Amino acid sequence: MRRALALSVGCAAHREVSLGEGFMESLPMPHQGVRRDSYYSSISYPLSCEDPGIKGGLEGEDLPWAEARRVFRRFAASDNPSSEERSEMSDAAWRLSYCWCNCGSCPELFHVCPLGAMAALNLMQLSSAMSSAARVGSFINSVSECSHVDPYVMIVKLPPWNELLYASWPIFGIMYRVALQLQVDGLQEEHLDAIWVEQLLRGNGSISWPRKRNRSLGSRREGKGSFCELLGFGAQCPVDIAAQLVGQALAIARTDPPRGREPLDAIEALVRRAQSWVYGLLPRVPGVTECMQSQNLHLGLSLSRAGRKIFRSLAQLQTVLEASLHATGPHCPAGGARWQGEWLFETDFLKDFQAELGTTLALAPNLSPAATAWPQVREAREAWVCTLFAGPEISWEQVALHAELVRTLAYSIRRHSQQQRPFVVLTEVSIPEDIRLELLADGLLLEYFHAPSLRMQVPAGYEWKLSWFKGRKLRPTMGQLAVWNLSYDTVVMLDDDMIMVQAADELFTTPVFAMSHDPMPSGHAKDTAGHQITRLNNAVRVVQPNKQLFRKMVAKLQSGAYKDHALISYWGYDLQSLEDAFWSEQSRRSGVARYAGGQFLGCAKLRAGVSRAKRTELADTLPDAEEAKSLNEVETIRASDNENVHCVLPADYNFFVDFKSVFTLIFHGVGESELKAWSMRRLMRRATMLLRSGSLVDAPKILHWPGGLRKPWQRVHPRTQTDWDRAWWDAHHGMCQESATKCRIACEFEPPVE
């Protein structure tokens, strides 16, 4: 089960801040985002489980997370659920907790859809299969035994309240509904001391509780005293204070719709403080184990008036926030990210990383030689290229969206480049006519590839390797390879989920084929001889078109020769891995390309990101002094070497700015002991690894949002956007202002209809 790194960040003891050792780590981070060793909402899936790939839970199952979420939301929102709504809820809760009830534990559910599993387990308490006696018995827990997967224990391990508020699962509404049902069943706050004493008598006697020695306690079936009184509090009860804080947050949300950043910041601060007051009670709550204490804490909250008020106010607050954070509209590309609130904590995490990266770049010596004046305009036939898939199996809406992304990329290149070059869209003849005209109106050129002749093929019996394409109803096409068939001297090809933020004209001076690389710590591979090489990432490539090489590459990739290649077996049967396998055999892979004054210098002798032994002071893969020196040694490469060597491009031209990639970079290889001991600033300082390993040479010039989710155009609420996301939106806005044709991307914020 994934665990929380911290539910809140306490204040460290005062120490003098100096410019000496430990100075940087003594400074707080500017934001407080994700704080766990494993982000509970998953780096792959959102909290809402909205992504289409989320349907599977365990092998052989097809769990209906999205449908169950709609059922649970309707049930929690109803003041008086009908018998039909209760029956529908019971069926959905049973489907999602079937394995739990039959196997005893299914932690995989918490890895796939944690809040969905949590909601289902809580609602099983209200299902038609649960009698009042059984429900009360499970909460009283007189046997003094506790499971760490009990829903009322798991709530302590789940994300902070702020994060739960922004998710689409009605966790607080469900908890309020359960609390009301306990009252209907006859369980009252006055029963708490008798319940806890019975637990003590049946336990091992090691219970920690201020009232343990009061022999009159629990002498009757029904005890006396409120939840707070039993914990030793008088008029100033932390639960009452927390209820007031949550009430203030709700009042702000109702009077000042949180369309911007400031209201959300105020609401989050109040809710975070309320949670601190409530969870600060945990050491005082009786329980043989910490697990029992967690269960009893939420039992006390459920039976107390102030506790129920907290649950109800949080449920109402969640509803109000959703109305301002749920993105919709006929041309809104949010898709699986339509619940904008669930991205806020990831945004804060990325802001911390961006701040630390900026500090690192400011303090680090520039690895590039001193820049000189840019060279004169080059006379060679050169162009920027981007692929736009427009096959008949792709909807008009998808083609239109990606065409707008291509136009945004082209605008960012025009805005920053030192020399203007043609921008070529490599597409298919089936592209819709209106979209074709829009691209031409923006001054883009169109070249067409023949998709049937570029189909990805595998030998009989290996068809399953193409499951990625089949699952998305796409033809497995290698259309990007057609870039080798263009009639230019040199082209630079980019993906459409990128933008340029600094001029990168120097790429056209690269005399040999070069492709961007995977800068992640795990981004290594082995060639056919077993030597470790840097893994390629085909988001950016410098190509000297060659029709003969084009035909050779297509034939080799379609032959199935790489079906059992180590790269394919590990990374999957996709074009990127196939190209990587081809180039690992075609020519020698040199190091990172180096440039100065707008000119290619050569490629580093030491490859970037080489895997090294773990150090005690940093769980990083960093070069030693001799290796660091080699990173600055450049191998001279000329155009005549084209058939013998290829280079990798530094991360400057393919800088990953999505949450999943950054999270993986920060936490990769961090052990449990380091996780407990390291501050968040020290973790964020792992941004230096990109520079020290040679992957990053200078400040990023081209930003990339890889993966199928967390794209900048999906982050439409200002509070969900990092500076990198806003750079994309600025480019999009500039393109739309300049364009002679229409832009479609637009979102509205409305309450979800489910």
> Per-residue pLDDT for 53 more than 70?
no
Phi/psi at 609 (nearest 5 deg)? 65, 25
Q: What is the mean pLDDT of residues 31-48?
A: 50
- Comparing 109 with 337, the larger pLDDT belongs to 337
Indicate the DSSP class of residue 480: G
Angle at 706 between CA 328 and CA 457, to 5 degrees: 105
Residue 102 has pLDDT above 70, yes or no: no
* Angle, helix 344-363 to helix 659-667, in steps of 10 degrees: 60
Instruction: Quote the pLDDT of residue 12.
Output: 30
- Nearest Cα residue to 422 out of 515, 513, 499, 489: 489
**Whole-model pTM?**
0.83
Is the pLDDT confidence value at 394 over 50?
yes
Which has the minimum average pLDDT: 38-52, 140-154, 402-416, 708-722?
38-52
| Domain spans, the chain | 42-325, 345-739
Assess contact for 482 and 685: CB atoms under 8 A: no
Q: Which of 28-32, 655-659, 710-714, 731-735 has the highest mean pLDDT?
A: 731-735
For residues 352-383, one letter each, b for 16 or more C-beta atoms within 10 angstroms of the residue's C-beta and e for the rest, the string is bbbbbbebbbeeeeebbeeeeeeeeeeeeebb
Q: Is the pLDDT of residue 57 over 60?
A: no
> CA angle 371-610-517, nearest 5°?
60
Residue 651 has pLDDT above 70, yes or no: yes
Q: Is the pLDDT of residue 216 over 50?
A: no
Average pLDDT, the chain: 81
Q: Could you give the 3-state DSSP secondary structure of residue 541?
A: strand
Q: What is the pLDDT of residue 389?
A: 95
CA distance 701 to 368: 14
Question: Residue 541 — φ and ψ, nearest 5°?
Answer: -150, 145
pLDDT winner (highest mean) among 177-191, 364-378, 459-473, 569-583: 177-191
Angle, CA of 326, 329 and 334, to the nearest 5°: 60
Task: Summarize pLDDT for 664-704 with one digit per residue, the tens.
Answer: 888 777 777 777 777 777 777 777 778 877 888 999 999 99
Quick: pLDDT tens for 473-527: 678 899 999 999 999 999 999 999 999 999 999 999 999 999 999 887 665 555 5
Q: Indicate if the pLDDT at residue 640 is higher than 70.
A: yes
Average pLDDT (541-563) is: 94
Question: Does pLDDT of 3 surpass 80?
Answer: no
Name the residue with higher pLDDT: 117 or 237: 237
pLDDT of 239: 96
Q: Which CATH code is given to the segment(s) 345-739?
A: 3.90.550.10
pLDDT level of residue 229 (50, 70, 90 thresholds): very high
176-215 pLDDT, tens digit each: 999 999 999 988 999 998 888 888 777 654 444 444 434 3
> What Å distances lie between residue 348 and 345, 352, 721, CA to CA?
5, 6, 9
Q: What is the rounded average pLDDT of the residues 654-661?
A: 92
Q: Which amino acid, 36?
A: R
